[in-house]
A and B are shown apart, each in its own frame.
Chain A
Amino acid sequence: MKSGKNIPESTVYKKMRIVLPAMVAVLLVLIVTAVAVGPVYIPFGQSVRIILSNMGLLNDPSLPRDQNAIIYLVRLPRALTACLAGGALASCGAAMQGMFRNPMADPGILGVSSGAGLGAVTAITLGFAARSIYMLPLFASVGALMAVTLIYLLSLRKGKISSLTLILSGIAVSTFIGAVTQLVLMNSNNYEVRSYVFWAMGSLNGMMWSHVRLIAAPVVILILVLAFFARDLNLLLLGEEEAQSVGLEPSRSRKLLLLVTSLTVAAAISVCGPIGFVGLIVPHILRLITGPDHRILIPASALGGAIFLTGCDILARLPANGEISVGIITSLLGAPFFLYLLIKSRREGELF
């Protein structure tokens, strides 16, 4: 065996070559759908042409300007934000479940959501949110990072993080921060409460290019970083000592991964609110399809999260008498589906 050409490689790579392009195709179709449907229906072909012309790939002066405005200024940035946020939440959920070997780990549990919530409330009540669209995301991100850092420090024992302590202190700190947030809200005026609740429900309404620009770079880069830690995540899944024996520094990897996932999630929910269940169920569904290997699970979760959130957002916009928050849709769909999975695979270890 001289050359590597005829050596069969791991089946994961073969799976990747089938699953990932298929998911990209589904995602593209969904983006076009998201752009086409709405109060004003724009035919699919027309939608594609408008997107292409805005990308400078098509020069067609006959395209109606009002349709162009709807698609380019309203629907496309909204769909792209959905992709980015969904991808961020789901890939980070997959990573967190792997690194803590805990099927219930998700961004919400580790205090990211509650921290971001307190940051958002602060930005709103202190009036910063009204001044610039960047203020609420900024405050939310800072809040999220502060909460994660606090939880992390609380669960640190002799330089090591205990998974159980992390999750327990995560719940405690989240609850505490949630109470503080409620307290602040009680002393806020009606408008402030409304804008907080609107953010906290998770909504993609009003997403603009500035939002896309705000999170695109961090989300894409951090998901790529996660993908390069896939092998480490696999080892962590196989067990701490097992991982260390083959050359991984488990606690250092966890610290790094915790930082990366917190930043990613903070970036995503800072603009569209803590959208529930995406980080929890999307990785679980994909694990059933791809298996537990993070080399495929992380990119597949990123794409799956994007598909799921974009799809949910299409549903959220369907009602004629005004749209529903996408967070409501994800939870309405996600919770029953999650329970279905749970019941179907009640035997221990099968789900995760």
Chain B
Amino acid sequence: MAETNGKTPLSNESYLSQAGTTSVKKLLVVRDLNFSINDKQILGDICFDAAKGEFIGVIGPNGAGKTTLLKCIDGIYKSTGNIEIGGADLVGMSSREIAGRVAMLHQDTTVTFPFTVLDIVLTGRYHLLGRFKAERPADYEAARRYMEYTDTLGLEGRLINTLSGGERQRVLFAKALAQETDLILLDEPSASMDIAYEEQTFRYSAELCRNGKTVIAAVHDLKTAVRFCSRLILMKDGRIIADGAPEMVVTRQNLLKAYGVNALVYKNRISGQVDFHIPGQAENRRDKLVHVIGGGGSASGVIRQLFEGGYSITAGVFAHGDSDLGCTDVFGIPTLVCQPFSEIDDETFQKNIEMIRAADFTILCDMPFGQQNIKNLKAAANAGKLIIIEDGKPENRDFTGGKALLEYNALKGNAVVIESARLHEVLP
């Protein structure tokens, strides 16, 4: 929610900021945490620290123990080992003391009983209220401040069971914030949740962390985790198998180890973040080798389509820095590269011809032609089978004053010409 970004940062008037900045380094210390149910080990030897301002995403496949870990930190499950929050041991703390240090947004946000939204948010103040005391003005103020923050102030008098899933989640998030803790645990609602609200808690959390809170979130969607979290903890079978910055954790090996998928991990050029692609099932591996000639982004879509179709691929020649190179990187495709802003050198040209000859067929993408890459057209003439993708008029893509166009038209006589959208129709 973009409009919340301008709102007042949440005051951080809890014990830790009062205690000074010495303890800021480690807000949460978890050591040798083990947890079993009926002799079945759910969590094993969990060790990690969380510093102030960190937004930690706990990722891993279903059953990895993400939710269990959060519940141990929240004191709901009694684990063995050591959990320290703000320098104090969790063992021996009453629920009330824990509630003053850790708040948790649970996964299941359904409330079937008709309490008003305000009353629900006020339950976050429980740990601050005496048994014989009514809510103080300060409690109402806090409740309304966090309702405003999560954009639920207008729902104050509504009954919680009449709200939509997204509204309810925001209300319960306001409730967790009303506890005014430094550490917030977030158990991400499962994917069945309203898609429009899937990210809202992450946006709020990221902002909270910038304001000095620490959020640990169990995240199911890896891409969301990468996008919002400053650090990721990857779990598998109750153990941490990787912990660190997103690009350190989301690697091909780790994803294979945790999820058993062969993902393609790369740096997204637009977001600058680590990204990954899990190719469609290429179980129908074909015994066909394709060579792709492209550039300027024209080859990327074609390569992905071929990759998912189970073809073996070679590509080239691209100039250094060409956006299509990002794609061939990701898919691990043998690619010919030449110096930018200069003609393709003879050696590379020869290699290109070899690749084209070795391929079962060659695809010439809908690419611009200049003096630098005109040799690609010459090389294409060596193709046994040539497919030319033509989405726009080649005249508009010729920057050689007609020279390339001549070559291109000559190639067309011997090739299948098709729009990119219909490429699958002509692939052997």
Chain B associates with chain A? yes
Is A189 an interface position by the 8 A CB rule? Answer: no
Instruction: Report A228-267 CB contacts with B as 1/0, cut-off 8 Å.
Output: 1101001101110110111111000000000000000000
CB under 8 Å from chain A, chain B span 131-151: 131-132, 134-138, 140-141
Interface residues on B, range: 35 or more
Contact between A238 and B76 (Cβ–Cβ < 8 Å)?
A: no
Q: Rank and list the top 5 A-B pairs by shortest CB-CB distance, nearest first.
A: A4-B137, A247-B99, A247-B127, A247-B96, A292-B113
A311 to B163, CA, bound (A): 39
Complex contact A246–B119 (CB within 8 A): no
Known: A12-B119, A238-B123, A247-B100. A349 touches B112 (CB 8 A): yes
Q: Which of A10, A239, A245 contacts B122 (CB 8 A)?
A: A10
Of A4, A228, A245, A291, the residue contacting B76 (CB under 8 A) is A245
Q: Is A62 an interface residue (CB 8 A)?
A: no
Chosen A-B contacts, 27 in total, with CB atoms closer than 8 Å, are A1-B141, A3-B137, A4-B136, A4-B138, A4-B140, A7-B137, A9-B140, A10-B119, A11-B116, A13-B134, A229-B131, A231-B129, A235-B123, A238-B115, A238-B123, A239-B106, A245-B74, A245-B99, A246-B99, A246-B175, A247-B96, A247-B97, A247-B98, A291-B114, A291-B115, A292-B115, A293-B119
B76 touches A241 (CB 8 A): yes
Q: A10-B118, A247-B96 are in contact. List 4 more A-B contacts (CB 8 A).
A: A245-B99, A245-B103, A247-B100, A291-B114
Q: How far is the CA of A126 from the CA of B127 in the complex (A)?
A: 51
Is the beta-carbon distance between B71 and A241 smaller than 8 angstroms? yes
**Residues of chain B at the chain A interface (Cβ within 8 Å):** 71, 74-76, 94-100, 102-104, 106, 108, 111-116, 118-120, 122-124, 126-127, 129, 131-132, 134-138, 140-141, 157, 161, 175-176, 179
CA distance A4 to B115 in the complex (A): 23
Contact residues of A between 3 and 54, Cβ < 8 Å to B: 3-4, 7-13
**Once the chains are docked, how many angstroms separate the CA of A291 from the CA of B131?**
21
Cross-chain contact A228 with B140 (CB below 8 angstroms)? no
Q: How far is the CB of B128 from chain A (nearest CB, A)?
A: 8
Q: Which residues of B contact A4 (CB under 8 A)?
A: 136-138, 140
Q: Which residue of B lies closest to A229 (CB)?
A: B131
Contacts of A238 in B (CB 8 A): 111, 113, 115, 120, 123
* Contact residue among A7, A239, A247, A293 (Cβ-Cβ distance under 8 Å from B141): A7
Known contacts: A241-B71, A241-B106, A247-B96. The answer to whether A10 contacts B116 by CB under 8 A is: yes
The answer to whether B113 touches A237 (Cβ under 8 A) is yes
Which of B118, B119, B157 gathers most chain A CB within 10 Å? Answer: B119
Given contacts A4-B140, A234-B123, A293-B119, contact A9 B76 (CB under 8 A): no
Within the assembled complex, what's the spacing in Å between the Cα atoms of A238 and B111? 7
Q: Helix, strand, loop or mixed for chain A's interface?
A: loop
Give Cα distance in the complex from A134 to B175, angstroms: 50
Q: Does B114 lie within 8 Å of A246, measured CB to CB? A: no
Complex contact B106–A244 (CB within 8 A): no
Q: How far is the CA of A346 from the CA of B112 in the complex (A)?
A: 15
Tell me whether A292 and B114 are in contact (CB under 8 A).
Answer: yes
A234/B115 contact (C-beta < 8 A), A7-B140, A10-B122, A245-B103 known: yes
CA of A76 to CA of B122, assembled, Å: 43
Q: How many angstroms between the C-alpha atoms of A310 and B100 in the bound complex? A: 46
Given known contacts A4-B137, A241-B76, A246 and B124 CB-to-CB distance under 8 angstroms: yes
The residue in chain A whose Cβ has the minimal distance to the Cβ of B94 is A249
B137 contacts across to A, CB distance below 8 A: 1, 3-4, 7
- How far is it, in angstroms, between the C-alpha of A12 and the C-alpha of B122 when the chains are bound? 12
CA distance A234 to B192 in the complex (A): 28
Which residues of chain A have C-beta atoms less than 8 A from B118's C-beta? 10-11
B123 to chain A, nearest CB (A): 5
Give the chain B neighbours of A12 by CB distance below 8 A: 116, 119
Which residues of chain B are within 8 angstroms of A239 by Cβ–Cβ distance?
Answer: 106, 108
Q: Which residues of B contact A11 (CB under 8 A)?
A: 116, 118, 157
A244 proximity list for chain B (CB < 8 A): 74-76, 95
A291 contacts across to B, CB distance below 8 A: 114-115
Partner of B179, one of A3, A13, A235, A246: A246
Q: Would A9 and B135 count as touching, CB distance under 8 A?
A: yes
Whose C-beta in chain A lies nearest to the C-beta of B114?
A291
**Distance in angstroms between the alpha carbons of A65 and B224 in the assembled complex:** 84
- The smallest C-beta distance from B88 to any residue of chain A, in angstroms, reads 15
User: Which chain A residues border B131 with CB–CB below 8 Å?
Assistant: 228-229, 231
Which residues on B sit within 8 Å (CB–CB) of A249? 94-96
A246 and B123 within 8 A (CB) = yes
Residues of chain B within 8 A (CB-CB) of A9 are 134-135, 140
Flag if A235 contacts B126 (CB, 8 Å).
Answer: yes
Point out which of A8, A247, A292 has the most chain B C-beta atoms below 10 A from its C-beta: A247
User: Complex formed: what's the CA distance from A48 to B136 in Å?
Assistant: 41
- A150-161 vs B, Cβ < 8 Å mask (1 yes, 0 no): 000000000000
Known: A231-B129, A241-B71. A247 touches B95 (CB 8 A): yes
Q: Distance in Å from the Cβ of B242 to the closest Cβ of chain A?
A: 28
Q: What's the least CB distance linking A205 to chain B, in Å?
A: 39
- Nearest to A228 among chain B residues (CB) is B131
Are the C-beta atoms of A231 and B114 separated by less than 8 Å?
no
Residue of B nearest to A241 (CB): B76
Residues of B with C-beta under 8 A to A231: 123, 126, 129, 131
CA distance A249 to B135 in the complex (A): 20
Smallest beta-carbon distance A340→chain B, Å? 21
Q: How far is the CA of A324 from the CA of B97 in the complex (A)?
A: 54
User: With the chains together, A13 CA to B102 CA distance in Å?
Assistant: 29
CB distance from A121 to the nearest CB of B (A): 39
CB distance from B66 to the nearest CB of A (A): 15
Cβ-defined contact, B134 with A245, below 8 A: no
Answer whether A247 and B126 are a contact pair too, CB < 8 Å, given A238-B111, A238-B113, A291-B114: yes
| Residues of A close to B74: CB separation below 8 A | 244-245
Q: How far is the CA of A297 from the CA of B127 in the complex (A)?
A: 22
- Inside 8 A of B99's CB, which chain A residues have their CB? 245-247
Q: Name the A residues within 8 Å of B103 (CB-CB).
A: 245-246
Residues of A within 8 A of B97 (CB): 247
